[in-house]
Amino acid sequence: MAATASDPPGDCPSFVPVSFELFPPRTDAAAIALGRTIDRLAEVDPAFISVTFGAGGSSRQRSLTVLRYMLEHTRAEPMAHLTCVGSSHVEANRLVREFLDAGITSFLALRGDPPADADPDAGIGDLGSAAELVQLIHRVQEEREPFEQVRVPGNPGASRIRERPRPERVAVAAFPTGHPRSRGVGQDIDTLLAKEIAGANLAITQLFWRADDYLGFVERARAGGVTIPILPGIMPVTTPARLARLTELTGVEPPAELSINLEIEPDAAAQIELGVAFATRLAADVLAGGAPGLHLYTFNRHEAVLDVVDRLGIRADRLAHERNTTR
Ligand code: FAD
């Protein structure tokens, strides 16, 4: 069934892990505003907040600054997006180490895209896929932790090698409506399975506009052997210009109903209502279909995504859940 903005929300599970995505700010003023946004997002106790990584590492320092802010000022778990396209083994190794040294233990491992004007003969670097970056993250984490002998409790004289900590989450991207360069859904599922085999323990999807696109993809992924949770990525889109830009960036066509309604609605508040209502409906439908949580794209604004969370009743239920489980 296609999600529409006019339907009432369906049945939602009572406790739903929610996570958010931000991008690093480009100006000092945007950085100050982003600090306030992070504080507000952290109030709903998200499972994690992820920070994107500019193509070719262009945002490395700015991404790290945002992730450090989260570590120092909130209880939210920061997740760093990392891309490997164009990097040598040594550069990718150094990058992963730098983020681990900063205290980041959750990653979204991506291949990334070569710049549009890149020389096609130049190659894409030493790491050809996100799966290789997943393996590298695990390897670098292990190398940082020296082997250590620990005593076996209750068995005097006995010792064993201490288990070395693994990164908390190593997430990867998934494409419910297909990656723009993929030859077909079979290749998208095979790529996701390869990333799971490489050590990914979570997948986060590209935007999609119909609940069936996500639910059908999960079904095919399960049939293809993928077992890791697949989080649906949803964004409340509140202006026609942003919808047009997203379509250009992702290549995922929105339903005509949403684009036309946003386009013909002259009032900004009514446009916001359209976008939030649509995203809430879509979120409710995928949750009713078994989605293990929600990953909300924020566009660095807290208002619309927190409105979606409120309308789904997730915030109140999360607090109630915590009270019940800590008794
Ligand atoms: P991979 O998993 O390596 O592969 C992606 C697709 O490419 C596959 O599905 C497959 O169809 C095809 N493919 C893979 N290997 C081959 C092969 N050998 N031959 C032919 N086709 C192949 N980009 C950024 O620069 N920064 C970000 O912060 C960022 N965050 C993202 C967050 C999410 C949730 C998503 C969904 C995407 C994000 N991207 C980001 C975009 C991403 O980098 C691009 O979509 C990129 O083209 C693919 O990256 P990947 O990790 O999915 O690659």
Residue ranges of alpha helices (H) inside the chain are 28-42, 60-73, 89-101, 130-144, 185-198, 211-223, 240-250, 256-264, 268-288, 303-312, 314-326
Q: Is the pLDDT of residue 275 over 50?
A: yes
Kindly state if the Cβ of 124 falls inside 6 Å of ligand 1. Answer: no
Q: Which of 21, 77, 132, 196 is catalytic?
A: 21
CATH number for 240: 3.20.20.220
Residue 182 in contact with ligand 1 by CB distance below 6 A? yes
Best mutation site among 49, 95, 191, 250 for ligand 1 pocket (most ligand atoms within 8 Å of CB): 191
- Does some domain include residue 7? no
Q: Which of 66, 107, 111 has most ligand 1 atoms within 8 Å of its beta carbon, as the pocket-test mutant?
A: 111
Ligand 1 atom showing the smallest separation from residue 188 Cα? 9
What SS3 class is residue 12?
coil
pLDDT of residue 317: 60
State the chain's mean pLDDT as an integer.
Answer: 89
Identity of residue 119:
D
Q: Is the CB of 240 under 6 A from ligand 1?
A: no
84 touches 99 (CB < 8 A)? no
Quick one: pLDDT band at residue 304, thresholds 50, 70, 90?
A: very high
Give the best-scoring range by mean pLDDT among 1-15, 156-170, 173-187, 211-225.
211-225
265's CB contacts (< 8 A; 6+ apart) are 271, 274
Sheet holding 233-234, edge to edge: 230-231, 202-205, 169-174, 106-110, 78-83, 48-51, 18-22, 294-297, 233-234
* Residue 10 within a domain: no
Written as six digits, the tokens of 316 are 């109140």
Lowest mean pLDDT among 17-26, 46-55, 123-132, 240-249: 123-132
Residue 154: inside a domain = no
- The three-state secondary structure class of 159 is strand
Q: Is residue 266, in this structure, part of any structural domain at all?
A: yes
Range with lowest mean pLDDT among 5-19, 40-54, 123-137: 5-19
- Cβ-count burial 257-294 (b if 16+ within 10 Å, e if not): ebbebbeebeeeeebbbbbbbbbbbbbbbbbebebbbb
Among protein residues, the one with the nearest Cα to ligand 1's atom 23 is 112
**Residue 185, in any domain of the structure:** yes
Angle at 243 between CA 257 and CA 3, to 5 degrees: 40
Give the span between the Cα atoms of 293 and 286, in whole angstroms. 9
Domain ranges, residue 128 = 18-115+124-146+163-325
Query: Per the structure block, which two tokens stand in for 110?
Result: 């991506």
Nearest to 18 by CA among 43, 45, 37: 45
Rg of the chain on CA atoms, in Å: 21
Averaged pLDDT, 254-270? 93
Contacting residues for 105 by C-beta, under 8 A, at least 6 apart = 77, 165, 167, 168, 169
**Annotated catalytic, 21?**
yes
d(CA 107, CA 51): 9
Return the minimum-mean-pLDDT range out of 157-166, 259-268, 272-281: 157-166
Asked whether residue 208 carries a pLDDT value surpassing 90, the answer given is: yes
207 closest CA partner among 169, 255, 240:
255
204 lines ligand 1 (CB under 6 A): yes
Identify the residue whose C-alpha is closest to ligand 1 atom 41. 112
Distance between Cα 129 and ligand 1 center (Å): 8
Domain count, the chain: 1
The answer to the question of residue 155 being in a domain is no
Confidence band of 86 (pLDDT split at 50, 70, 90): confident
Q: Per-residue pLDDT tens for 157-182?
A: 888 877 666 668 999 999 999 998 88
Residue 286, in any domain of the structure: yes
